Amino acid sequence: MATPRCLACRLFRVRGWTHSPRAAAAAAVSIGSAAAWLGSSIRNKIYFPPSRDETICDETILARALPDAHPDTVRVRRVAADIVAAAREDKVFGHRRLSERTGHRLVHDINWRVHVIDDDTWIRAFSTYNGEIVVFTGLLKRYCRKDGHLATMLGHEVAHAIARHMQREFTKRFYVRVLANFIEELLHAPVDGILQAVWVSLFMRPCLFSQELEADRAGIMLQAAAGYDPCDAPAFFKAHEPYEDLSNQYAPARTHPTCKRRVQELMREHVLGEAMKVFGQAVE
């Protein structure tokens, strides 16, 4: 009958160091946490949503959504519809399809829904894997007075969804948690919430930063194809710069690159230059 020690040897196919109670415990903790996390993911319907129409947004947030007929809701939905329509059409610009330029094809079974939340204290927006885009009036009033700036923000959020960033992030977080458990067991460190959070933040940070920059690059192509001036994209992030809190830019919990870095990436010739070509053809 297999003991935990032999099970560890068989699973990791390494002799010597796995023949110890500590390694067996590490394997047991890792496998156990993996199973628990996967079980809770399935339970929370992260990987297997029962319906494309079901909301995964917090109901207390949605309770503060502006009515459908409110001018802010109408405006945000109009620009979002332009962005999604451009992605769906997937037109050829300069011998390359829009999907090649963004690096991602539109996922056709996404049910796009836009919620504008009446909260001026929140300067943010986010999107979910199943096509919900949530925009807070704080962001709208402060940085999106011009439709071009609104198109930048919405292009970014649509890009997150079609690039399946949320799914990729959950998958990576899963592996990082397993790895963190394993290392902590080997080092005989206490497995507590604070240490776990630090491990996850350190390993996840490069992934989150690259996803944000990817959404910026894809988003500027989407806004250009929808007929919104791509020059508004770097201008949108430049407007954020004076208000950005840089005191914690090296903190492990930071999930977004600085605005300065985002502007630099957007201004590159292969990004803004290409987007300008797409824009020129989209509006001619």
Query: What residues line the site for Zn ion (CB under 5 A)?
Result: 212, 215
* CA 259 to chain CA centroid, nearest Å: 16
CB contact set of 197 (below 8 Å; sequence gap of 6+):
253
CB contact set of 26 (below 8 Å; sequence gap of 6+):
8, 181, 182, 185, 186
CB of 159 to Zn ion, least distance (A): 8
Nearer to Zn ion, 185 or 212 (CB): 212
Cα–Cα dist 135/238, whole Å: 20
Cα–Cα dist 202/186, whole Å: 19
Nearer to Zn ion, 156 or 180 (CB): 156
Cα–Cα dist 230/278, whole Å: 9
CB of 137 to Zn ion, least distance (A): 19
Nearer to Zn ion, 215 or 266 (CB): 215
| Residues paired with 65 in a beta bridge | 117
Cα–Cα dist 181/191, whole Å: 7
Nearer to Zn ion, 84 or 215 (CB): 215
Nearer to Zn ion, 215 or 272 (CB): 215
CB of 161 to Zn ion, least distance (A): 10
CB of 132 to Zn ion, least distance (A): 14
CB of 123 to Zn ion, least distance (A): 13
Tokens of 72: 């802010």
Tokens of 148: 């071009």
CB of 189 to Zn ion, least distance (A): 32
Nearer to Zn ion, 177 or 262 (CB): 262
CB of 7 to Zn ion, least distance (A): 41
Cα–Cα dist 217/138, whole Å: 24
Tokens of 14: 């390494």
Nearer to Zn ion, 215 or 259 (CB): 215
- Taking only Cα atoms into account, the Rg of the chain, rounded to an integer number of angstroms, comes to 22
Residue 246 has a CB neighbour count (10 Å cut-off) of 11
Residue 139 has a CB neighbour count (10 Å cut-off) of 21
